[in-house]
Structures are given as C-alpha cells and as structure tokens.
Copies of this chain bind each other. A is one copy, B any other.
Amino acid sequence: MNAKKKFDHSNDLVFLPLGGTGEIGMNCYCYGVGPADDRQWLMVDLGVKFGEETDPGIDVILPDVGFIASDKANLHGIVLTHAHEDHLGAVAWLWPQLQCPVYCTPFAAQILALKLKEAGLDEEVPVKVIPVGSKFTAGPFHLEYISVTHSIPEPTALLIKTKQGTVLHSGDWKIDRTPVLGQGMDEKRLRAIGDEGVDVLVCDSTNVLREGFSPSEAQVADTIAAIVAEAKGRVAVTTFASHVDRISTAVRAARATGREVVIAGRAMRNTIEAARACGMLKDSGRLLDEEEFGYLPPDKVMLLCTGSQGEPRAAIARIAEDQHPHVSLDPGDLVLFSSKTIPGNEKEVSRVLNNLARLDIDVITGEDALVHSSGHPRQDELKLLYDWVRPRALIPMHGEPRHLRAHAIFARKHGIEDVVIPRDGHITKLMPGPLRQIDEAHFGRLHVDGRLIVPSEDGPAKQRRKLSFVGIILVSVAVNSKQDLAADIEVVTDGLPHGLQDGLQEAAEKAFEGTPKPRRRDVNVLGETIRTSVRRHADQIWGKKPIVKVVVHEV
C-alpha cells in the first residue's frame, strides 16, 4: 500500500477500475474518498469474464481485487448495477476476500442468491436489497439507483454523491422508450440530476462506434411476432438466458399463434424463476419441460432455449447435432437466433449454423431481420444522455481500448472537454480540479481452474498452453550405487507424433552411456544431459522442442 502514500490528496474523489476498461467483461470499478493513506472505498460491480482458448482449461476469469482486499476495513460495500455475469458473476468467488455488504436490486438478489448458495455463502454475505429508484448510503457514499433500460430486468445507473463531488456511473444502458418490461429509462430523474449538477459521467462505451439510435425492444417484438405467425413448422428461439424481456416477447409471440412454450436450458429456467419471484412473467402461462416437446404438433410448439453463443453443451448446439435427448427438429422447421454473436464466439456460432444447415433447417439471425437489439447506447443515445446530465468531465468505460478511445474522441466532439481514458489499475483523481491520473494500484486477473482460484500469469493455464503446442516426454532412470542402470530407462510421451518412441529411447540411452561414471553421480548433471539429448532428438525428427522431464532414482 506504499503507492498510496506518494501523494497527499486528502480531499480527492478517485476512480480505480480493476477490470472493464481494457476488454469486454469482468467489470469492477472502485471509487475512493478521503486522505490517500486512509481512503474509503466503494466497489461498483464485480463481474467475471469467460475464458478463451488462449487460457486452456479456464472457464471463468476474475479481477484480482487484492489491492482493495488488503484494505477491506475501508470498503463500505459492493454495489451491483444489474445481474449480468460480467457485473455480478465474481461476487460469490471474491466476497470471502472482501467481506462487506452487497447492494443490489430485487432481481439481481435472486440471481445472486443462487450463486451464493452454490458457493455455500448464502448465510454469510449481507445482501441489501434496494428497489430501483431508491436512495441508500454506504459509508461516505450517498447512492441512488436510477432506472435505465438494458437487456436484463432492473438495470440501473448509479448516482454517487460524496462531499467531494458527484458521479453518475452509467452501468450498462440504452434508451428504449418502448421496453416490454420494467420501469423504463428514468429520463426525468436523469434531467433532474443534471440540473443538480454532475461532475463526472462514467459511461458505457460498447456501441460508440455505431451511429444513430438502437431499435427498441418493441420493434424486436413486432418482428418476432410476425415471423412466428408465418412459421408453418416448429419454431425454436434461442437468446441470452438472462434476457427476460426477450423471453417475454417470444412467449407472447407463441401465445398469439396458439403455440405451447417449451423451455430448454438450466440457466434460462433459473432466470425465469428469478423473474417470477420478482413479479415478472406472471401472464406467460405454463412453460413446459423439454420432455414434452416431442408430443406437440409442429405448428403448436415453440422451443425457447439457450446456446445463442454457440456454447457446445447448450440446447441449440445439441439439437443442431441431432443429439438432444428430447428435442429434434425436421427440415423446414425454423430456428431464430434472437441474439448477437459476442466477439470471440463467431466460430462456435458458425458451427451451430452449419449443423442446422446440414439438417436443412431454416435459420433467421439478427443479420436477416430485426430479431435482436443491443442493450448498449449508440451515438445518438450517448448525445442525449450528455444533454440530460451535462457532466463536467467524462470517463469512458465498458469496452476494448478502441471503444474507449473512440468514446473519448466522441465526447470531446460533443462538448465534454475533460476526458481521461482509464486503464485498469490507474487511480484517476475525479475531483477537485481536472481529471488526472495520480497513482497506480496493483491489478490483474485470476483464473478459476477447476474449483481453485489460481494466478493467471505464470499459472497452470500458461504451462498447459505450452504443453498443447509441444507435448511432453518423461524419462525415468534408475541408477545403482555403481552408477550403472538398475533397470531399463523408461520413456513416456504424451502429445507427440507416433514413430518417435524408439529414437527417443535410444537418445536417452546414448546420453546415459555417454556420461562418464563420475559425472553420473551428480543426479542433476545426468538428468540435464539426458533431457538435452532427448529434446534435441525430438527437434531433429519432428521440428519441435517438447517439454522433457527426467527423473533419476538412486537405488
């Protein structure tokens, strides 16, 4: 914590992102007030990012919150803006390090409860349920959840008032004036807080490269209703499991055409239960289980399922491979991808689309018709929010570096001159005076590997990535007290081409024989001689240098 002491900024309001400003996902933003050596912290959002192929065996990535955890007595709460995984998903993993109250809306509380229960933390974590539109306080932070529109129930922007100044933290949002569920965007309140004065807007940058205004959920609903009304055979709709608005839209399209609705996918079932517990989807009637799908006439059924990102174990992927235990589709049936492909998932989605094509099943995606609309603001929506809130300064968040840079250029072009592009770990002074980076904090990522949390840098995933390119050779040698072999040298390989075995064995034996007896006494020398020789042989034949480990038993 030495870093904190470099400056005296006792009257500062500072901003410290620990995730979410350099890549999509894993959102974690900290606000601090007070003297640098006794800063009081508030954390906004604590999300995960999903693993990529470059980190093999890693499904979930967490922000390293060690910097805040080491000062946890000064952490007054974690406030969740909404229930998406990239904003809420890390709480159950990291709360034990942070040990503070968690504030969230009723719907987010339902989703969080499932995760805490799974982690055995449901009795421990003090979850404070705050209705959308309410004010609350966490230490020196006076907070207010302001209703916005997004692609999940109860999305909020967070107004953060401190004696040092006022920040509007936008969360994920768009301006949808005809949403199908929820309270809608609270334009009135946003204008009012603009009148009251906002120093800094910390703002979603995801869609800043897109011109214009996002289509409304109501337009999407009209399109889906029209498509379902025309369908002659079975209809399957796949969307994000958490997108309750879209689930509601699909169910209404089904009901309007006399179709029963079958749900496939545990995550979607969980969402529906959470929504119903919060009073949503009350009029959607009975939703059937996948076992019932096969008994319904093709024109009397809609399947609502997970897998819109091509996840290989999700319902639609298995249906496309004709491997689902209860659901199968026939030529001429229709699958609606009511989703967008998140960058990085293109290949997986493509695989599902190709499998459906092989089964001669019709597919409609967001590229063919308005069956999806993003939950993030395009340029005209950003301009409107700027107009309502009139912030003195802006920090772009949520996005890759190119989005953050484009947002900075865009904001300056639209009259907000004080803009700083944040980087994870940078401590930016928001108030008083202009935005300025004043310090740095440790940040990083953690991998969830099996059931363990492990470091991402030089961790096991990195070792495994190396293994995945070059494979491994184990050589085991038993040497007796005369420095002779006590048994045959054993060579075991994994991930190598066939046909190398004999040569490797020979290389190991030659290396042993070529080592003079006195030198064999030094197990390290002997091991290294064999290792080098075996590795060189593999390289000569194969053109790759595998990992070689040598064990020497002295018997």
Interface residues of chain A, those whose CB is within 8 Å of chain B, are 22, 52-54, 56-57, 343-344, 346-347, 350, 353-358, 360, 363, 400-402, 404-406, 449-452, 454, 459-461, 463-465, 467-472, 474, 476, 478, 480, 486-488, 490, 492, 494-498, 541-544, 547, 549, 551, 553-555
Contacts and interface: CB of A to CB of B under 8 A. Distances in A.
Main secondary structure on A side of the interface with B: mixed
Contacts of A346: 343-344, 346
A490 B553 contact: yes
Nearest to A344: B347
A520 to B, nearest CB: 15
B490 A57 contact: no
Nearest to A23: B354
Given A487-B553, A553-B553, A470 B347 contact: no
A459 B54 CA distance: 21
B57 A468 contact: yes
A350 B454 CA distance: 27
Contacts of A54: 53
This protein's copies in its complex? 2
B490 A476 contact: yes
Shortest beta-carbon contacts, A-B, top 8: A450-B543, A56-B468, A53-B53, A468-B468, A451-B543, A464-B495, A357-B402, A487-B553
Given A347-B52, A357-B404, A551 B471 contact: no
15 contacts: A22-B354, A56-B469, A350-B400, A354-B400, A357-B400, A449-B542, A452-B541, A460-B497, A461-B495, A463-B471, A476-B490, A486-B555, A488-B553, A490-B551, A492-B549
B57 A470 contact: yes
B460 A471 contact: yes
Please indicate which of the listed interface residues A343, A464, A495, A547 has the most CB atoms of chain B within 10 Å of its own CB.
Answer: A495
Contacts of A450: 497, 542-544
A127 B406 CA distance: 52
Contact of A492 (B363, B469, B551): B551
Given A467-B472, A467-B494, A497-B449, A487 B354 contact: no
Contact of A497 (B22, B347, B452, B497): B452
Contacts of A467: 464, 467-468, 471-472, 494-495
Contacts of A356: 402
B344 A476 contact: no
Given A450-B497, A464-B470, 16 more contacts: A56-B465, A57-B544, A343-B350, A344-B346, A354-B400, A451-B542, A451-B543, A454-B497, A460-B498, A464-B471, A467-B472, A474-B474, A478-B486, A490-B551, A490-B553, A553-B555
